[in-house]
Structure 1
């Protein structure tokens, strides 16, 4: 069996994902053309087909935070190449984030939608095109999977992810980008350690025939909400095996595929190649592109003085959601002038007191921590509970910002069950 091929194209790209001219559009198209041509026969793949292009448009204002979404120049290049290759239709769709439809997200981005249309693409919102429950035999946790009609009606899926680290999953590349196919009402379950199994279950049904990874401006550290841009990565990676593309991209970030849980599971399930030695890398020399990306920190204890976090038996779902919220609050200066609060996350100890000391008001984060509110009921004001398994990343963020500006909370009466804040 032939080794999967991943093509790398790289040279300096001037301008930025948010402010660019025709000059860098042409340069990026040349890079994408070079990478795609080196890994597949695009006309043979796309001619006469209805193609769904799946970029990463999570909260898709490209200015905030910078570089967190697929570079528009890469997306336009992919759409144009598909039309030139004879695709009958090129659809562009994504679910940009929990509670936000694509049409709502793009409401203030008229120039973006106009340019996509001019390139030959049709934007589709998964929330509005309908969906269907698809059986998923052999799934770990996700059977059936409700998938958007735009995907099921398309002949070909082309994946256009972004090169980023991720607080929850270490990296978010091609395989993780498929999570944007999941409908809102199925998005939050198994969003704990088992999110990796859930994403691999999506891959079983949604196998991209081509992945074109945008690594022009990458993102490192506390991504996706609070990471920092790597503005000179200047690389496009392309291949027909999404796991192979992710393996090569992660290596360029200084991360081994064996460190990425979803890639380990995908390899175990025979869904793609994750052994770097078994992948044929062509084009630009990876040795000249490799960086040591700042890695995300998921732990919350001791991160910020204003929120004294005690971690019990917490899984990555709660830790990731809470760390996202803390980083976002800190980045906005929301801790300034506030009295410290204590926050407990995870399962309390079963036979011992889990919290001997607390500073200020007590918050219990997630379903596992809720019993601690019973233990502390009656000890000064009742605890505030942020429910969920796990809570959404914005739940504590919103609740904390809703506190009285003096830094004090007005606790809600404790009713015998966790109360929404």
Structure 2
């Protein structure tokens, strides 16, 4: 049996994602074409006369800062141009950004992007514009049936175009994780717990991309996917027909071992793709010349920000990740400025020591497991603010903390201990 091939292409581009020229787009298109060819993918045979769905990562696009979060527009346009030149009958681009935000709302302010999609011959489709189709998943461990977008099921060919990023919760977000954007919020957000990796793999059981093209022109490290820092001018494109093999190679390029990534361990264990680097043929550039050591994301929030004294009890990664996302967002926006120190408890408290001692400022309880601490019987009248959920939405604490600073909230100083539950 032939080893799966992953194509790597690298070259100087010399332009930023948000300030590119036709010459820069041509350079990126050449890189994408080289990577796809190196992967052994015959595009005309794959897409000729067929309808094609492209699934980039469009999670929370920001027209003022498009460099770090979303799939580079140049890569999306390059794939569109190559697929169209290969004879595709129709090309659609779609995603579900998640976090309670429709794609229509997420794309507000991105009129130039949507116009360029149309100019290059592609149609933007909203996965959340219609009810999903329940697809049976008999070999799933948790997720059966899987609700998938109708436009995905109607497409003849599905091309996955993720961004190379670290991830606070799953360590990396590449091709396999990018498929989580196929799922709408009502089935997606409640599963951002430790079991997110099993659910992602259950999606892979029924949806395997025909081709995965990873954007690593400007990659993202650290507190990603939303608060990471750019790795500028990495200028790498990776491609392959086995998404697991592509992710394994890309994790290695990030300085992250395959065995560190739970979804890759599970994919290999379940036989859903090749994750053993020794069994993957890398064609094109030498990965040893491209490898970087990415800054790792830090999941814990303890001691991260002086304004919020975080105490972690028996918390799972779902709450820890959601909280760290919220705090990083506040930190990046200078949202702690002028605020008195607060105390935040996350996770299950010890049963014999339910009540906290020496609480500083307003007490916040994060997640369903922390509910026993809402009422502090050692200090009658002291009621914590509670952020419910299993886990809470990543923006719930962010919004509540900002609202608590409003002049009429009575909690701006952090000294009001009689604030009712939020």
Give the match for residue 10 of structure 1. Answer: 10
1:2-401 equivalent positions in 2, closer than 5 A: 2-39=2-39, 40-64=41-65, 66-353=67-354, 355-376=356-377, 378-401=379-402
Distance in 1 between the 2:405 and 2:44 partners?
Answer: 60
Corresponding residue for residue 409 of structure 2: none
**Is contact 1:62–1:69 with CA below 8 Å preserved after alignment?**
no
What is the deviation of 1:384? 0.5
Report deviation, 1:353.
3.8
Unaligned regions of 5+ residues in structure 2, if any? 407-411
Output the CA distance in 2 between the equivalents of 1:134 and 1:400.
Answer: 39
**Which whole-Å CA distance do the structure 1 matches of 2:400 and 2:190 have between them?**
21
Give 1:132 shift: 0.9
The superposition leaves residues 82-128 of structure 1 with CA deviations (integer Å, 9 ceiling, x where unpaired) of: 11111111110000122111122223211111111111111100111
User: What is the CA–CA distance in structure 2 between the aligned matches of 1:317 and 1:99, rounded to whole Å?
Assistant: 17
C-alpha displacement at 1:375, in angstroms? Answer: 4.4
Distance between the aligned counterparts of 2:227 and 2:415, measured in 1?
26
Deviation at 1:189, TM superposition (A): 2.0
Comparing 110-119 and 246-255, the one that deviates more: 110-119
Matched, 1:407 2:408: no
**Distance 1:377-1:94 versus aligned 2 partners, 3 A rule:** farther
Where does structure 1 differ by over 6 angstroms across 4 or more consecutive aligned residues? Answer: none
Q: Distance in 1 between matches of 2:306 and 2:189?
A: 29
Q: 1:62 to 1:266 in 2, by over 3 A?
A: farther
In the TM superposition, residue 190 of structure 1 has moved relative to its aligned partner by 2.0
C-alpha contact 1:55 1:160 (8 A) present in aligned 2: yes
Indicate conservation of the 8 Å contact 1:214/1:237, yes or no: yes
Asked if 2 retains the 8 angstrom alpha-carbon contact of 1:14 and 1:24, the reply is yes
Distance in 1, Cα, partners of 2:16 & 2:94? 23
CA deviations over 1:305-337 (Å, ceiling 9, x no partner): 110000000110000000011111111111111
1:250 deviates by: 0.5
Partners of 2:135 and 2:101 in 1: CA distance: 23
Partner deviation per Cα, 1:40-66 (whole Å, 9 max, x = no partner) = 111111112111100000012253363
Q: Is the 8 A contact 2:375 2:382 kept in 1?
A: no
In the TM superposition, residue 354 of structure 1 has moved relative to its aligned partner by 5.6
Give the superposition deviation at 1:409: 6.5
Three-state SS of the structure 2 residue aligned to 1:222 is coil
Report Cα offsets for 1:345-378 as digits up to 9, x if no partner.
Answer: 0011122346233111111000000111134485
Alpha-carbon distance in structure 2 between the residues aligned to 1:376 and 1:268 = 49
Q: What is the Cα-based RMSD across aligned positions, in Å?
A: 1.5
Distance 1:73 1:376, change over 3 A: farther
Q: Is the 8 Å Cα contact of residues 129 and 150 (structure 1) preserved in structure 2?
A: no
Normalised to the residue count of structure 2, the TM-score between the two structures is 0.95
Q: 1:359 to 1:235 in 2, by over 3 A?
A: same
